[in-house]
Amino acid sequence: MSRNSKTVAERNRAEVITNAARLIRRDGTGVPLSDLMAAAGLTKGGFYKQFGSKDELVGLAATDAFSEILALMGRLRDEAADTADAREALLTEYLSTMHRDDPGSGCANAALATDAARAGDGSPLREAYRTGITTTLTKLESYYDDDRRRNAINTLAAMVGAISLARATAGTPLSDEILETVRQTLMADPGKTDVPLSTPPIA
């Protein structure tokens, strides 16, 4: 293979992975292989020149998807004056209607949780998810000064749960209420449940 051909092949492979990362977050890992290739402007016929199996591609795409939330968390932490400012910035962006309405570019922890739970133990997706969530928690620990591990786990679980419930109820007042309630609670204290809320409960 010439250097030019190799460069084109590497670029095509990267495009497939990046586009697959968006599709599996939006539609789940059941997306047909032809759709994963078509999203990168390629045909299904060239798939096995680049990947050993669809499972391999899904695992690589999951890793790519996690890289986005990890990069965001790193940037927000670096830009913040202290941990409180960092948490506010993260919670404002994560528990937003924009994130709720665009799962394809959203957090892999939330978007891929169900598929990862159903994947076989040792599968590329399961392994990528375990690595991704572990790294996410490590990043999130830097958002706290005290009891860092406990707060990181509580916060991630609450954020992922809230965005998942908000997506499932999108188009209703309850969806917005979930985002606002959890955001206010976590900004006060991830372990505190008696935070006054500005939004009235749904009747």
pTM of the model: 0.87
Two tokens at 70?
């990890």
Is 194 a domain residue? no
**How many domains are contained in the chain?**
1
| Domain of residue 174, CATH code | 1.10.357.10
The verdict on residue 171 lying in a domain is yes
Angle of helix 148-168 relative to helix 83-94, nearest 10 degrees, comes to 20
Position 69 in a domain: yes
Residue 165 inside a domain? The answer is yes
User: What is the mean pLDDT of each successive set of 10 residues along the chain, which is 203 residues long?
Assistant: 71 92 96 90 82 95 98 98 97 98 97 96 97 98 97 98 98 98 88 46 42
Range of 45's domain? Answer: 3-188
Strands annotated E in the chain: none
Digit-coded pLDDT (tens) for 16-27: 999 999 999 999
Burial (CB count <10 Å: 0-12, 13-18, 19+), residue 119: buried
